[in-house]
């Protein structure tokens, strides 16, 4: 009987250790510069959030899809400081119908979109009524929502759950600063969260320093017991809950 218990314990331990912690890397703000096209060559399952109506949005999405990457719409949303977030911005003064039309048009401007995350949006993501219109639009297209967490008071995830939309959140901003020491520190924080909670989402930007750092470190993840997955793979169905972390920065 004791031998049986030992065998079971070893089997459970082996099964647990075989399940690698998972991270998703999302590169935001894609589309304004031709140099962004090279970001699609990052190794592995990297996800990219593309700004609508930018000069290289469509060409990047086509290239990234060819490289078997995942595409998100990086939807401009109203910020608390009233700084314009870009073409196609959704604001709190719009009706639900206007929001749905604006979001639908932005979605149709970029091919192969699998989900949406907010660009800025520290004001809009706090407001249940406009976010409900956003989630209804995503639900009709079976798209997920990734909350960039630009506000600690965001209701995006709760609203997504109430409408039946799969959702997730950003845990770490990788490159508020772009020196190597800061990037390494934030990347380490991301991996630590993933190991503790099973998964984590990190957001970066197409800065040369960030892309160089990721080119070097993403191929090393497997040997560290970390699996790189698409953002969609870390979304949570409406009847489950996500682990929470304090917001580390706002945009």
Q: Note whether 176 and 249 are within 8 A (CB).
A: yes
pLDDT of residue 197: 98
The Cα 95–Cα 121 span in angstroms is 17
Q: What are phi and psi of 209, to 5 degrees?
A: -65, -40
Q: Note whether 117 and 28 are within 8 A (CB).
A: yes
Q: Note whether 182 and 170 are within 8 A (CB).
A: no
pLDDT of residue 19: 78
Q: What are phi and psi of 199, to 5 degrees?
A: -160, 165
In this structure, is the dihedral angle defined by the CA atoms of residues 206, 33, 141 and 137, taken in order, positive or negative? Answer: positive
The Cα 31–Cα 29 span in angstroms is 7
Is it true that domain 21-234 has CATH number 3.40.630.10? no
- HSE, CB side, 13 Å, CA atoms: give it for residue 2: 0
Q: Note whether 32 and 56 are within 8 A (CB).
A: yes
Q: Could you state, in order of their start, the residue ranges of all structural domains in the chain?
A: 21-234
Q: Note whether 118 and 75 are within 8 A (CB).
A: yes
Which has the higher per-residue pLDDT, 167 or 19? 167
Residues 84-118 have pLDDT tens digits of 999 999 999 999 999 999 999 999 999 999 999 99
| pLDDT higher than 50, residue 244 | no
Q: What is the mean pLDDT of the chain?
A: 91
pLDDT of residue 18: 54
Residues 141-169 have pLDDT tens digits of 999 999 999 999 999 999 999 999 999 99
Two tokens, residue 17: 């250790």
């Amino acid at each position: 009987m004791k031998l049986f218990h030992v065998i079971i314990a070893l089997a459970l331990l082996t099964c647990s250790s075989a399940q690698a912690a998972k991270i998703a890397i999302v590169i935001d703000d894609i589309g304004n510069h031709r140099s962004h096209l090279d970001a699609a060559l990052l190794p592995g399952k990297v996800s990219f959030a593309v700004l609508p109506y930018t000069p290289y949005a469509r060409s990047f999405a086509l290239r990234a899809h060819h490289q078997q990457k995942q595409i998100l719409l990086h939807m401009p949303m109203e910020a608390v400081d009233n700084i314009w977030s870009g073409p196609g911005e959704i604001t709190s003064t719009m009706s639900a119908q206007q929001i749905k039309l604006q979001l639908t048009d932005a979605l149709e401007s970029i091919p192969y979109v699998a989900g949406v995350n907010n660009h800025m949006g520290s004001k809009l993501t706090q407001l249940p009524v406009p976010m409900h219109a956003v989630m209804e639009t995503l639900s009709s297209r079976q798209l997920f929502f990734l909350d960039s967490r630009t506000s600690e008071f965001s209701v995006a995830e709760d609203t997504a759950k109430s409408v039946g939309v799969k959702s997730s959140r950003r845990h770490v901003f990788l490159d508020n600063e772009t020196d190597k020491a800061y990037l390494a520190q934030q990347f380490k924080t991301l991996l630590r969260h993933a190991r503790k909670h099973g998964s984590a989402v990190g957001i970066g930007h197409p800065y040369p320093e960030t892309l160089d750092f990721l080119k070097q470190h993403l191929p090393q993840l497997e040997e560290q017991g970390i699996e790189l997955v698409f953002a969609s793979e870390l979304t949570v169905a409406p009847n489950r809950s996500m682990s929470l972390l304090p917001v580390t920065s706002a945009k």
